[in-house]
Amino acid sequence: MYLRLFRPFLSLALALLVPAQLPGQESATAMVYANGQTWVNGTEVPKSVAVFMGDTLQTRQDASASIGVNGSSVMVLSDSLIKYEGASVAVDRGTVRVSTANGFSAHVCEVKAWPAANVPTQYQFTHSDRNVIVTATKGDVIVDDHGDRKTVAEGQQITREDGCEAAAKKNPKRRPGASTAAAGGILSSPPLLYTGIGIVGGITTWVLLQGGDPISPKCPDNSCQ
């Protein structure tokens, strides 16, 4: 009886918790290593933590952090706010240094940068004062500005307006760049996700241990007939 009563609630809880992160998790997850005070979704990172697509990362003025994912690495410099997007980062403010051989990109509003070829490439992407500066430190980098593409040769840099004002006028509800670090959903935090799964598992175990009939105060073990 208990199992019949609890089954709909257990199914709903598992459906809400598990699919929120598990499908495609291998390609979506990355590791963040903090050097100084760093937050992921508004929670301070002790030393390292896994991040998922859509998570935000913020560094203090005297801190930095690195993201490692699928052969690419992203150094997030001090006083930066970015959003991790799996194969790219959105730079709300600050600077990232990208090292990649598989086309990892950085962008904000109307400006996007990525390697010109799938070869080991390093570039720096800075968003500050409504401007974007892209510097190609190793290999060539393509910069797309409002659909106008330019190739930045190794050792060169380019400056473009970020286009955030134009993007906001086109879609007032859309906030350019990354979300604020404290705006992450509750299920975007791995510790909270695993805690929730543990709670559901505990409830499930308790229900399964109960007999098919309700427990009677006069016969707690259901042995009385």
pLDDT of residue 21: 42
Domain boundaries, the chain: 28-185
Indicate if the pLDDT at residue 206 is higher than 90: no
Closest CA to 50 of 193, 189, 180, 187: 189
Report whether pLDDT(188) > 90.
Answer: no
| 140 has pLDDT over 60 | yes
Please tell me the pTM assigned to this model.
0.68
State the CATH class of domain 28-185. mainly beta
- Quick one: what percent of the chain has pLDDT higher than 70? 63
Per-residue pLDDT of 76-96, as tens digits, reads 999 999 999 999 999 999 999
Place of tokens 């805690």: 195
Q: Is the pLDDT assigned to residue 221 strictly greater than 60?
A: no
Read off the pLDDT of each residue in 205-223 and give the average, rounded to a whole number. Answer: 50
3-class secondary-structure state, position 117: coil
Instruction: Write the CB contacts of 20 (distance below 8 Å, at least 6 apart in sequence).
Output: 187, 193
Specify whether the CB–CB gap between 107 and 118 falls below 8 A.
Answer: no
Pair 161, 37: CB distance under 8 Å: no
Compute the distance between CA of residue 32 and CA of residue 202 in angstroms, rounded to an integer. 30
With bands split at pLDDT 50, 70 and 90, how would you rate the model's confidence at 141?
very high
Which has more confidence, 180 or 127?
127
